[in-house]
Structure 1
Amino acid sequence: MNICSSPLLGRQILIFAVGWLAYASAYFLRKPIGVVKTDLESELSFTKSQLGLLDTALLLPYAVMQILLGPVGDKFGPRKTFGICLLFAAVSMASFGHWSNLYVFLFLLFFNGTAQALCWPSCMKIIGEWYPDKIRNTIFGTFGTCAFAGGVLGTGIAVYLQTTHGWRSAFLTPSIFVGGMGFLILMFFHQPSEVGIEVPGKDQSNSRKSSGQQLSLLQLWKIPMLPEIAIAVFCLKAVRYCMYMWLPMYLLNQLKYSKVQAGMFSTTFEIGGVIGSAAIGIVLDKLYAGRPLVGTCFSCFLSSVALILFLITGSWGMTFNSVLLFLAGGFNCGPDSILGGSVPAELGEMEGRNAAAATVGLVNGFGSVGTFLEGPIVGIISTVFGWTGMFYFMIGLSLLGTFSVFRASIIKARRERQIPDPVALNEELL
């Protein structure tokens, strides 16, 4: 190994490890509220509607503030933004267990969701700067496992604290840990330019000096391929949260699983997501080098196929159910860090824009809107059309996501051939 590359390798390992742990820890402050809902209902007499408001108070600002405040990471620096937002999120939830008032809970969750909204865009901006373009998707795909692993760990920690010390203790310890990670981010999560290290293998045409002008939301939305990517992420996230929130009930009521079996087998989808996220980046860099959108398009389509087969073979038993749920999870969750991180970050840095955090925030925020819209929509569909209607809805969304990624790949190919987009050309002429 060239001795000159040693400082770079050490920094790359440090950045990946600290960033992975920090973003995974953010889920330690999202998951407890779902775990303690039964305690809030029994001890504080909260209604189902009030419990639903708690979810909205967290998820709504998380989605909207990513769209509106994503450029903050570009303007003030992703390291400071990421670290400070983790500290704010930790402060917001540290005292949660000491209150019993619904409106205080809603305020704290809103503050938590707003702070966490800026973490992913800032994190993606720095991760994208530290690695060569040829392994970009491998890094983003592997790094994306932090979200799924963080969700599992966050639930486990919350359950342990709840059962051991009571529900009010499920917030302070995670808050202390997240606050500690915030300080580590501020200390170590530097950009290459901050420590004077040049990363070889980066496309310098995308690194021209920015004019410093902050792009508006409309200007960001007009970046070629970005609307298609945002729509695809919306569809994939909506399907994913449908499975998270409704799959156990489907297994219990429709397929007649026991409560234990329904809870256990529903995690097969999430396990597939962890493995899919790690695997897809490697596959894209090996088989679809320079064409990541083509590979993610296939992944989205195969997720649709897996859902169709699961619906058809639902009565065939647990073995078939588990395999197809695993595949659906892998193909659905796999593209998440690529479409919600790698691709928009690259688009945000093209042509000297210096808007990686803004574009990632716009795409991931737009996609996160699907996480809180799916609940009432699926509730209505399942009531009117039954469980089959819910699966038709998810399959339709997954196919729409496939089409959106396919369209983005066509736009990319057209631009690479330097053939003008007729739609854009007509708009310019008008």
Structure 2
Amino acid sequence: METRENGSTLPLLDNNVHNDQSFSINGKLNTKEKSEVKLNEDNESLKMEKSKESVSQEKIPYLKCYQFQCFALLWFGYCSAYFLRKPLGVVKTVIGDELELGMREMGCLDVSLMLPYAGLQILAPGLTDRFGSRKVLSVCLTCASLATFLTSFAGGFPLLSASIALTGLFLAPVWPASSQMLSSWFPDDKLNSVFGIISTATYTGGLGGTALAAIVLEYSGWRMVFVYASSFAFCIGLLLICLKTPQDRNIVVPDKKELISKDSTSKRSLLSFLKTTGVKELCVTIFCIKFVRHTMYLWLPLYLKKTLGYTNLEAGLLSTMYDIGGIFGSPLLGVTLDYFIPGAPLKGVSLCLLIGTLIVGCFMITATWGLLLNCTCLLIMGATNCGPDSILVGSISMDIGNRKAGGNGASVTSLCNGIGAMGGVVEGPAVWLVWQFTGWTGVLSLILCLTAISVITCFWTYIIVQKSDLKELQECLTEEKC
């Protein structure tokens, strides 16, 4: 007991009680300090976010200019790629006569172009994800133009086929690199429209390359055809080095989902990409679509002439209705998917392919009913075949690759486009065999069956991807609850 001066006593405080009280006071102080530190950290992170937003907002007024620059350069880049591909079909007969090539060598020239083009995309799909879209685009298009220039010096079949094969090899990564660059600059809810519009470069380049080849062949010979085409593509290839990604310009594109961290493509095999959710089914769909498209390009004029009795001029003009349908079908489908079927592009593409299947069956029945009906059927067939092609190997494959394959969208696009291009490689021999045994009825039946298969596999891809998304969402909710 402690004695006061007035004689009263007070109990002594226990040391433990004193320590507990001091501990509680210190604990309160520590808690207060911690809360202050946490508040400071939150303020700093908020300032960082605001600074990022301010940087992006400062750049936003120029965003549309950068998007237009990117779109224009990529459009001309992919257009120039078709300036390198299309002249061969125009000058092949003249080359064969001058170099004394047989039918066997002539047939091998097409394979020399398409087989390396498809093969490199299948066997090495990760080039763009590994080296970057700007480098791949500029280097590959420039090298492809040099290989095409080398074709003009060919004096025999070995050098001719080798230079054409090099052209196909260097053109292989151009579309996957273009897809990656394009998708990085535009919001996710506008990608279908953007890819639909940029696919017009395919048809514009095809028509321009064919016209250039025909005019130059008439006045300057077949060698100068490759010189002019390669010169145009070489200049565009040099311009593509000016392309930059939004990250290079420190721009945050609005309404753009943040990608998950990209896996190293050097550690991923072809089989691992094929095992990605929906990729196998998507590859089958694109293979069938491209097989049908190449069949229509190469065999439709012959069918119109031999079976329906049109003249060469009428058959040529009528077959262009298929091309016109493709030109308008791609952007129309892209806009429709973004504005009327948002968030479910695979479902919309499946519906489009189903309409195409019905029109093919209608064409088989009504082919002999007159010119107007044939024009209508071919126009719709072109729109419902070429439209889905550009969307599937563009925005959809990029989306699946980015979300399901560890951010490797360009790799999945390359794989899908390469397997699809194999449809163009095997189409010639396959259609010839069917025609030999069953005639034109068998060829049209083959087109109908492949179009129907594409409907099934495309819708099945939609179901698989939807199930995968639902499973990921459930796992995410479960982890949050835990």
Q: TM-score, normalised by structure 1?
A: 0.94
Matched, 1:199 2:259: no
- The 3-state SS of whatever aligns with 2:207 is helix
Which residue identity is paired with 2:81?
Answer: A
- Whether the 8 Å CA contact 2:189–2:338 is kept in 1: the answer is yes
Aligned to 2:317: 264
Aligned to 1:212: 264
Aligned to 1:334: 387
- How is 1:179-190 mapped onto 2 (pairs within 5 angstroms)? 179-187=234-242, 189-190=243-244
Q: Which has the larger radius of gyration?
A: 2
Query: For 1:331 and 1:62, how far apart are their aligned partners in 2?
Result: 25
- Whether the 8 Å CA contact 1:67–1:358 is kept in 2: the answer is no
Query: For 2:87 and 2:263, how far apart are their aligned partners in 1?
Result: 43
Greater RCO, 1 or 2 (C-alpha within 8 Å, sep 6+) = 1
Q: CA deviation at 1:307?
A: 1.1
- Whether the 8 Å CA contact 2:71–2:182 is kept in 1: the answer is yes
- Whether the 8 Å CA contact 2:189–2:342 is kept in 1: the answer is yes
Which residue identity is paired with 2:431?
Answer: V
Aligned to 1:153: 208
- Whether the 8 Å CA contact 2:126–2:265 is kept in 1: the answer is no
Which residue identity is paired with 1:217?
Answer: L
Query: For 1:324 and 1:3, how far apart are their aligned partners in 2?
Result: 51
- Whether the 8 Å CA contact 1:90–1:179 is kept in 2: the answer is yes
Q: CA deviation at 1:69?
A: 2.2
Moved more, 3-12 or 176-185: 3-12
- Superposed structure 1 runs of 4+ greater than 6 Å apart: none
- Whether the 8 Å CA contact 1:208–1:352 is kept in 2: the answer is no
Q: CA deviation at 1:321?
A: 0.6
Query: For 2:124 and 2:465, how far apart are their aligned partners in 1?
Result: 27
- How is 1:157-306 mapped onto 2 (pairs within 5 angstroms)? 157-187=212-242, 189-204=243-258, 207-214=259-266, 215-306=268-359
Aligned to 2:146: 91
Q: Could you give the per-residue CA deviations for residues 152-179 of structure 1, whole angstroms, max 9, x where no partner exists?
A: 1111111111112111111001101101
- How is 1:53-72 mapped onto 2 (pairs within 5 angstroms)? 53-72=108-127
- How is 1:411-426 mapped onto 2 (pairs within 5 angstroms)? 411-418=464-471
Moved more, 51-60 or 347-356: 347-356
Q: CA deviation at 1:374?
A: 0.8
Q: Could you give the per-residue CA deviations for residues 33-80 of structure 1, whole angstroms, max 9, x where no partner exists?
A: 110122123222211111110000000010111112221111111110
- Whether the 8 Å CA contact 1:144–1:336 is kept in 2: the answer is no
Where structure 1 has 5 or more consecutive residues not aligned to the other structure, the ranges are: 421-430
Where structure 2 has 5 or more consecutive residues not aligned to the other structure, the ranges are: 1-56, 474-482
Matched, 1:362 2:415: yes
Query: For 2:472 and 2:139, how far apart are their aligned partners in 1?
Result: 44
Query: For 1:281 and 1:41, how far apart are their aligned partners in 2?
Result: 41
- The 3-state SS of whatever aligns with 1:316 is coil
Q: Could you give the per-residue CA deviations for residues 82-108 of structure 1, whole angstroms, max 9, x where no partner exists?
A: 110001100001132222210101100
Moved more, 33-42 or 177-186: 33-42
Percentage identity across paired residues of the two chains = 34
Query: For 2:126 and 2:343, how far apart are their aligned partners in 1?
Result: 27
Q: TM-score, normalised by structure 2?
A: 0.84
Query: For 1:51 and 1:85, how far apart are their aligned partners in 2?
Result: 26
Aligned to 1:108: 163
Q: Could you give the per-residue CA deviations for residues 267-324 of structure 1, whole angstroms, max 9, x where no partner exists?
A: 1101100100111000001111000000000111111111111111111111111110
Q: CA deviation at 1:3?
A: 6.6
Which residue identity is paired with 2:424?
Answer: T
How many pairs does the alignment contain? Answer: 416
